[in-house]
């Protein structure tokens, strides 16, 4: 939906509120794609905040993020959610504790993906409203194949577009 940030859409589709009474009253949006982008002091602040933390473009950096937060003694009550291809029929969600990481968290997820960390992730089991997708498949491949077929056959493309 135009104008809705990916974090809001992904969290809503995953059944994870970004803020919730007794869980988090604020949310931080970050980008993390290489290790020197955030200072050690900032990692310490992130590990000790009660805010929900959302990392954009960070699916492949999940292990670095978990290691940095655990090194700074993040509260074990907080969990991590990795959401791939959010709001599509191919959406995948992996929820894990930070100190006992589910091995699925480190599998290669299909982009785009984002990470949500905080006590709010615990609410996923209460608010999830879509079935889990266990089939990792790229959502945009069928669309790309259709576009190729249509552009390879101009008559079909015109009929499809309603111009024939």
The structural domains of the chain, with segments of one domain joined by +, span 6-133, 134-164
C-alpha 107: how far from chain center: 14
Pairwise CA distance, residues 32 & 128, whole Å? 26
What is the residue-level pLDDT of the chain in tens, covering all 164 positions? 667 789 999 999 999 999 999 999 999 999 987 778 899 999 999 999 999 999 998 878 888 999 999 999 999 999 999 998 888 888 889 899 999 887 776 776 677 889 999 999 999 988 877 766 666 566 556 554 555 444 555 555 555 555 54
CA dihedral 147, 151, 154, 157 (to 10 degrees): 20
pLDDT of residue 116: 97
Instruction: Please report which helix (H) or strand (E) contains residue 146, including its range.
Output: helix 141-152
CA dihedral 48, 54, 55, 56 (to 10 degrees): -160
Grouping H, G, I as helix, E, B as strand and the rest as coil, residue 118 is strand
| Residue 122, φ and ψ in degrees, nearest 5 | -60, -20
pLDDT of residue 164: 46
pLDDT of residue 65: 93
| Residue 54, φ and ψ in degrees, nearest 5 | -120, 125
- Helices (H), strands (E): how many in the chain? 6, 5
What is the domain class of 6-133 according to CATH?
alpha beta
pLDDT of residue 153: 55
pLDDT of residue 19: 95
pLDDT of residue 76: 95
CA dihedral 133, 134, 136, 142 (to 10 degrees): -50
Q: Is the dihedral of CA 81, 4, 61, 18 positive or negative?
A: negative
């Amino acid at each position: 939906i135009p104008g809705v940030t990916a974090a809001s859409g992904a969290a809503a589709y995953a059944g994870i509120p970004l803020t919730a009474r007794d869980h988090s009253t604020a949310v931080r949006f970050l980008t993390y794609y290489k290790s020197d982008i955030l200072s050690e002091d900032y990692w310490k602040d992130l590990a000790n905040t009660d805010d929900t933390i959302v990392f954009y473009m960070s699916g492949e950096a999940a292990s670095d993020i978990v290691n940095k937060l655990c090194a700074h003694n993040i509260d074990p009550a907080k969990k991590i959610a990795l959401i791939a291809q959010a709001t599509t029929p191919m959406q995948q969600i992996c929820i894990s504790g930070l100190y006992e990481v589910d091995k699925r968290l480190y599998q290669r997820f299909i982009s785009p993906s984002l990470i949500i960390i905080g006590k709010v992730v615990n609410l996923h089991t209460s608010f999830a409203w879509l079935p889990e997708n266990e089939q990792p498949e790229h959502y945009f491949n069928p669309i790309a194949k259709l576009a190729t077929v249509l552009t390879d056959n101009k008559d079909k493309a015109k009929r499809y577009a309603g111009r024939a």
